[in-house]
């Protein structure tokens, strides 16, 4: 589907000096999107240190088109939530997600962001997917840079397989106006049980 | 290092004077017992029965005092020229699992000029109102320490100018998390906790005094002043 780096039979010379190309619009747009994901790190804890290691020269996020990190949500495509999110930060994270323009994706980095991790207590959100939709969960405590890169490559594959005809991809999820929740309260209670979240990792697919 | 090779530390800025002994790292300190802090004897003379108990644990002195006299004692420790406890390093509280034991409020005081450390405790009996005097007017640094202690234990510091929650958001109504009767996961269900958290306005928890622009508040444009005073959402 995507563009091959090697010479491609679809690449034909029609005249002596004007090359042109045929491809699917989806393939072309997705190719551009997946190779220029601008990440916005939302680092709250030790996962952010591993994120910095990922962005530094040894692992070099720039190889994946992430040279420019956006520290404003308005210029970002990808929210990387690195670290635990306490309830006090929940409305802030929700606000940042709402400030990001479409198309946008989210990676939940580490055990705490994905499930609450070891912080099964009164103060910590049990998985950020109860606040915002998540595309890729990266396990680990904290994940090594290789783990985060693997998650980013998974996300790139997901972006490469999107269809522009599918309008629902770009729909903003509107929370319930009364409760401000995306997911029914009973489901949140269920997956927030101890170990409940770890066996419900597909829930933000809804 | 002096000429004969012995170690002669430089003692600067000490109220003990030039003849002060060099500071030493304590060795072979007994778990319990030992000489109490030099402030204890003058404190006993000054306050008499208000000093209820003196413990020395690992070489550190703990003084248990009458809760009603907390402000007087700490004011004296701060102001008296032979004490000069000029640094309040912590205010916290202790609740024991044994429900008969009183809740203790703890002040950690340090005298930089005399190189002394003193732990002051006040025991609040079970059933009594959880109130102790604030020391905010003595140490401005007590502001957030007392707010945190109120947030976590529900102890009211009488005289504190702005006793609001510090770590949890202000509308938080599940109780005081570090109390022994508080369940680890909180009192409400996860969905209810999330609903209440998401209903909070992220900006509204800051008073305008806390914002760094507070000094320049009067110079701000009128509409920004209005938004800040009403706690309305900004940056939309």
Structure tokens at A73: 């949500």
d(CA B162, CA B175): 19
- The residue of A123, A124, A184, A200 whose CB has the most chain B CBs within 10 angstroms, and thus the best one to mutate to test that interface, is A123
- Whether chain B has a CB inside 8 Å of the CB on A176: the answer is no
| Burial category of A28 from C-beta neighbours within 10 Å (exposed 0-12, middle 13-18, buried 19 and up) | middle
The per-residue pLDDT string of chain B (236 residues; one tens digit each, 9 = 90 and over) reads 445 656 655 555 567 766 776 666 777 788 888 888 889 999 999 998 999 999 999 889 999 999 999 999 999 999 998 888 999 999 999 999 888 899 999 999 999 888 889 999 999 998 889 999 999 999 999 999 999 999 999 999 999 888 888 888 877 888 899 998 888 888 888 888 988 888 877 666 555 555 555 666 677 777 777 777 776 544 43
Q: Which long-range contacts (CB under 8 A, 24 or more apart) does A55-60 make?
A: A58/A145, A59/A145, A59/A146, A59/A149
Residue A4 confidence (pLDDT) above 70: no
> Among the residues of A77-160, which ranges form H helices?
90-99, 110-115, 145-160
Q: Are B132 and B70 in contact (CB under 8 A)?
A: yes
Structure tokens at B161: 């100018």
Short-list B88, B93, B170, CA closest to B136: B88
Whole-prediction pTM: 0.77
- The pLDDT value recorded for residue A50 is 93
What is the pLDDT confidence band of residue A6, given thresholds at 50, 70 and 90?
Answer: low
Q: Specify the 3-state DSSP secondary structure of A11.
A: strand
Q: Are A72 and B180 in contact (CB under 8 A)?
A: no
Q: Answer yes or no: do B202 and A91 touch at CB < 8 A.
A: yes
pLDDT per residue as tens digits for the range A58-97? 999 999 888 888 888 999 999 999 999 999 999 899 989 9
- Whether chain A has a CB inside 8 Å of the CB on B183: the answer is yes
- Whether chain A has a CB inside 8 Å of the CB on B168: the answer is yes
d(CA B95, CA B100): 10
- Which residue carries 């102790």 as its tokens? B132
């Amino acid at each position: 589907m995507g563009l091959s780096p090697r010479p491609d039979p679809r690449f034909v010379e029609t005249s002596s000096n004007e090359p042109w190309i045929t491809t699917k619009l989806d393939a072309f747009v997705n190719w551009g999107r997946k190779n220029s994901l601008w990440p916005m790190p939302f680092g709250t804890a030790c996962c952010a240190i591993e994120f910095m290691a990922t962005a530094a020269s040894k692992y070099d996020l720039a190889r994946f088109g992430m040279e420019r990190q956006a520290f404003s949500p308005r210029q970002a495509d990808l929210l990387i939530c690195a670290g635990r999110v306490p309830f006090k930060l929940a409305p802030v994270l929700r606000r940042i997600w709402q400030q990001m323009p479409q198309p946008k994706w989210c990676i939940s980095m580490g055990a705490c962001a994905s499930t609450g991790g070891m912080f099964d207590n009164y103060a910590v959100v049990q998985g950020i997917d109860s606040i915002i939709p998540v595309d890729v969960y990266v396990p680990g405590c904290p994940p090594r840079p290789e783990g985060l890169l693997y998650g980013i490559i998974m996300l790139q594959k997901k972006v490469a397989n999107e269809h522009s005809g599918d309008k629902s991809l770009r729909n903003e999820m509107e929370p319930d106006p009364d409760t401000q929740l995306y997911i029914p309260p009973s489901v949140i209670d269920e997956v927030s049980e101890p170990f409940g979240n770890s066996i419900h990792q597909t829930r933000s697919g809804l | 290092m002096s000429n004969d090779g012995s170690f002669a530390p430089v003692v600067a800025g000490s109220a003990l004077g030039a003849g002060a002994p060099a500071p030493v790292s304590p060795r072979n300190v007994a778990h319990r017992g030992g000489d109490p802090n030099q402030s204890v004897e003058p404190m006993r003379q000054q306050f008499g029965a208000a000093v209820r108990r003196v413990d020395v644990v690992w070489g550190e002195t703990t003084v248990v005092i009458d809760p009603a006299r907390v402000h007087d004692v700490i004011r004296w420790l701060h102001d008296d020229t032979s004490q000069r406890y000029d640094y309040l390093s912590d205010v916290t509280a202790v609740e024991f699992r044994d429900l008969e034991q009183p809740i203790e409020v703890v002040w950690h005081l340090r005298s930089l000029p005399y190189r002394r450390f003193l732990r002051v405790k006040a025991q609040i009996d079970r059933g009594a109102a959880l109130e102790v005097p604030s020391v905010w007017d003595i140490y401005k640094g007590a502001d957030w320490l007392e707010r945190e202690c109120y947030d976590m234990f529900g102890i009211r510091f009488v005289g504190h100018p702005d006793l609001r929650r510090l770590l949890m958001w202000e509308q938080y109504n599940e109780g005081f998390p570090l109390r022994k009767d508080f369940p680890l996961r909180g009192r409400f269900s996860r969905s209810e906790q999330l609903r209440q958290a998401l209903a909070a306005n992220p900006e509204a928890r800051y008073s305008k005094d806390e914002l760094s622009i507070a000094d320049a508040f009067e110079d701000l444009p009128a509409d920004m002043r209005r938004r800040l005073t009403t706690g309305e959402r900004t940056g939309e």
